[in-house]
Amino acid sequence: MLIQDQLSLSRVALTWVVTAYTLCFGGLMMLGGRLADTIGRRRTFLAGLVVFTIASLGSGLAESGTLLIAARAAQGIGAAMLSPAALSIVTTTFRGPERNRALGVWAAIGGAGAAVGVLLANFFLNSQYLQHVLRLDALRTGLTFLPVASVIGLGTHLGVRVIGRFGGRVCGVVGFVSAGIGALLLAQVPVKMSTSTGPE
């Protein structure tokens, strides 16, 4: 079943599931950068990672629309701490040509992750075989595929070699194209909207 059916979300609430993350992420990113300058890049990165991980778990376990939206907002806060801290770590750790390669890897993996994440999420939520034949709900289905995280980690390691061979610019373009494909695929994800004309 879709999230809207499971949590009895109105059209407005369903929109806020996406909007809450976007607003917190975009609105607090500069504050996240300032926090990295104040308490340190590593501390900010780790704190953001903890916040994002806990919020992601909360999103998967949410039993009401309010909790889901709150968890999504917390994800945005965690991402706003992670992103500038990660970029700062990359730019200060590497020098010269190595910095360009590292930035290329960072951009490529970010774009590819956005595209692959949409594909996997859509698969987990809409797989009739996994949810009905194997009796796995969306959360358990996702946990079943945790080894995918290992593959992504290995891809990150190999990405450094790919950048060294093909150049950061080429891999950066591939990352942005992947992000664009992910956005197009996201627009194709079916969302059941209520046709009721009553109050939301």
pLDDT in tens, 139-180: 554 555 555 555 555 555 565 566 566 665 666 666 666 666
- Residues with Cβ within 8 Å of 19's Cβ and at least 6 positions away in sequence, in order, are none
Q: Quick one: tokens of 186?
A: 């996201």
Q: Decide if pLDDT at 77 tops 90.
A: yes
Residue 164: half-sphere exposure toward Cβ, Cα within 13 Å: 6
Q: Which amino acid is at 116?
A: V
* Residue corresponding to tokens 């664009």: 180
Distances (CA, A) of 24 to 31, 75, 91, 136, 196: 11, 8, 24, 32, 30
Contact of 33 with 88, CB cutoff 8 Å: yes
pLDDT in tens, 33-71: 899 999 998 899 889 988 988 888 888 777 888 888 898
Cα-to-chain-centroid distance, residue 104:
19
Residue 31: half-sphere exposure toward Cβ, Cα within 13 Å: 11
C-alpha–C-alpha distance, residues 43 and 33, integer Å: 12
Contact of 54 with 74, CB cutoff 8 Å: yes
Q: Which residue has the higher pLDDT, 122 or 16?
A: 16
H or E element: which one contains 34?
helix 11-39
